[in-house]
A and B are shown apart, each in its own frame.
Chain A
Amino acid sequence: MIDILFYLLLLFLIITAFFMVFTKDLSNSVITLPLFGAILVIIFVILQAPGVALAAAIMTVGLTTAFFVITINKTEY
């Protein structure tokens, strides 16, 4: 069961990564980044790496998104 879930999560990881790179709208790309990070956090927890999962959760889901949103707001996209 956990194997199926794991491969499904890996598939979603690839889908979100490709969507993030190839989408035309910049704000779509920025909002997909925390989704990618959340899936990566679940994968880290399944692989029993809680330290890396904590760091990834805070960095990719929190800080990076805040910085990107602020940057887009500042450049008046």
Chain B
Amino acid sequence: MSRLNERFKKLYKIGLVITFAIFLFFLFYDIHNLDSDGKRYLSEHYISEGVQETGATNLVASVLYDYRAFDTLGEATVILTAATILAFLVPITKATMFGTTFKSIVNQTITLIIPFLAVLGAYLLLFGHLSPGGGFVGGVVLSVIPILLTITYSVDFSEYIFKPAQKKLVENIGAIGFVLLGLLGVFTGSNFLASGQAPFGTGSAGEVFSAGLIPYLNLMIGLKVGAGLAIIFNSLIKEK
């Protein structure tokens, strides 16, 4: 029996190496032949036709919120699920303070930084279809504000400024608003989450109110990600 075990272990290692080698072979084969055959027709279509079809000058936003918007819905649902489960699992107890207390220079600097962070986050949210950025990054920048408040002052102060019920409400508005905006495409006679193909038009590319549904989807995703990350951080920092 032990001899069989030994033999199986050796065969297992050899099989692992061979599987890894085959995997690497296919990987390098595909990477090497990326230019030469017709695998790039989809990306070439996005690059050449993306601005005309969706109206967004940021091609990343046009792929994320128009061509592949359903994947974005899935990613956002992951964050919603994580925030919900963490807020559900972690008991509501008093948070422990940190070992070090900050001097007043740190507190003053934080109060100076926070308005700039709010403006930067709002810019990244609302101009996501024109310039680099988008809902995800803007939401993370906005969620840094309650995280900084939590780190410098305390959990109590952070939850006094941004109440947990308000954060949960904002997250739910983001989650439900994304699906409702997707259903708008169905009601106007097109597919789910259609913005470029939908009959309400894309507007002229480069303006603020253009690109169909993309700015509103950006706003919803940003609200959801920001509130979700703030809830996750404040839930993780609490303990009994």
Q: Which A residues contact B (CB, under 8 angstroms)? A: 50-51, 53-55, 58-59, 62-63, 66-67, 70, 73-74
* Residue from B60, B136, B144 in contact with A62 in the complex, judged by beta carbons closer than 8 Å: B144
Contact between chains at B137 and A66 (CB < 8 Å): no
In the bound complex, how far is the Cα of B233 from the Cα of A73, in angstroms?
A: 14
Contact between chains at A58 and B237 (CB < 8 Å): no
* Residue from B140, B151, B239 in contact with A74 in the complex, judged by beta carbons closer than 8 Å: B239
* Residue from B98, B137, B229, B239 in contact with A54 in the complex, judged by beta carbons closer than 8 Å: B137
- B contact residues around A59 at 8 Å (CB): 140
Q: Which B residues contact A (CB, under 8 angstroms)? A: 58, 60, 98-99, 124, 132-134, 136-137, 140-141, 144, 147, 151, 229, 233, 236-237, 239
Contact between chains at B132 and A63 (CB < 8 Å): no
Q: List the A residue with the shortest CB-CB distance to B96.
A: A74
- A contact residues around B98 at 8 Å (CB): 73
Q: List the B residue with the shortest CB-CB distance to A71.
A: B236
- B contact residues around A74 at 8 Å (CB): 237, 239
In the bound complex, how far is the Cα of B58 from the Cα of A73, in angstroms?
A: 40
Beyond A66-B147, A70-B233, 7 extra complex contacts between A and B, CB < 8 Å: A51-B132, A54-B137, A55-B136, A58-B144, A63-B147, A66-B233, A73-B98
- B contact residues around A63 at 8 Å (CB): 140, 144, 147, 229
Q: How many A-B residue pairs have CB under 8 A?
A: 38
Q: List the A residue with the shortest CB-CB distance to B232.
A: A67
Q: List the A residue with the shortest CB-CB distance to B133.
A: A54
- A contact residues around B151 at 8 Å (CB): 66, 70
Would you call the interface of chain A mostly helix, strand, loop, or mixed? helix
In the bound complex, how far is the Cα of B89 from the Cα of A20, in angstroms?
A: 32
- A contact residues around B233 at 8 Å (CB): 66-67, 70
CB-based closest 9 A-B pairs:
A50-B132, A51-B132, A51-B60, A58-B140, A54-B137, A55-B137, A54-B132, A58-B137, A54-B133
19 contacts between A and B (CB under 8 A): A51-B132, A51-B133, A51-B137, A54-B132, A54-B133, A55-B136, A58-B140, A58-B141, A59-B140, A62-B144, A63-B144, A66-B233, A67-B236, A70-B151, A70-B236, A70-B237, A73-B98, A74-B237, A74-B239
Q: How far is the CB of B196 from chain A (nearest CB, A)?
A: 19
- A contact residues around B133 at 8 Å (CB): 51, 54
In the bound complex, how far is the Cα of B64 from the Cα of A51, in angstroms?
A: 12
In the bound complex, how far is the Cα of B124 from the Cα of A53, in angstroms?
A: 13
In the bound complex, how far is the Cα of B99 from the Cα of A73, in angstroms?
A: 8
In the bound complex, how far is the Cα of B137 from the Cα of A73, in angstroms?
A: 27
In the bound complex, how far is the Cα of B147 from the Cα of A67, in angstroms?
A: 10
Q: How far is the CB of B62 from chain A (nearest CB, A)?
A: 12
Q: How far is the CB of B44 from chain A (nearest CB, A)?
A: 18
In the bound complex, how far is the Cα of B144 from the Cα of A70, in angstroms?
A: 14
- B contact residues around A67 at 8 Å (CB): 233, 236
